[in-house]
Amino acid sequence: MKKTYHEDWRVIIEINPRATHIPISALGFEGLDGTLAGDPFEIEIAPRRLGDLGFVSMSDSLVSNDIDGDYRRNCEEMLAEILRNRHIKSGRVTCTETHVCSHCDSVWEVLTAEEAADNSINQDGNSVEGEPVCCYAAIAEFRTERGVPQLES
């Protein structure tokens, strides 16, 4: 049915400088110059690829059996360390989620309740909310799992 991919893992932190003008280096980030005004702002931090071992680079799948879990754990560890800084107001771990059909690899879309009730746009009178709209194989699998009569040929 639906496959979910997680990409672009990152840590987003909100910095709330407690002083009017502080050097960026006071936040503990190396290689950043300048000073900060007192207004809060956000920074996104991307973790290093799992397969980037410094001295050699390889596919993430060669170094991890749980790529999503390892990226999440790495980001959570980064966030925990960053939140120790007194200028950091809050933070969160996020990623981009993509849902696709396991049959046709199209973007996963389903009928809304309004669409399912509109006989002019649904497949037949048995279409229900949550039914996929991408391909007949997905519709057939969805209907079989829920005991909904199949589409007529």
Give the contacts of 124 (CB within 8 A, at least 6 positions apart): 151, 152
**Is-contact 4 99, C-beta < 8 A?**
yes
Give the pLDDT mean for 109-119.
89
Neighbouring-strand partners of residue 5: 98
Q: Is the pTM for the entire model greater than 0.75?
A: no
Q: Which residues pair with 3 in a beta bridge?
A: 100
- pLDDT for res 34: 63
User: What is the structure's pLDDT at 27?
Assistant: 63
pLDDT digits (tens, 9 = 90+) for 34-87: 666 666 778 888 898 998 888 999 998 999 999 999 999 999 999 998 888 877
pLDDT at 20 over 60: no
Over 70: is that where the pLDDT of 23 sits?
no
Distance from the first to the final alpha carbon of the chain = 21
Is residue 106 within 8 Å of residue 100, measured between CB atoms? yes
- Torsion (CA) 66, 72, 77, 80 in degrees, nearest 10: -160
Nearest by Cα to 42 from 97, 69, 75, 82: 82
The per-residue pLDDT of the chain, averaged, comes to 85
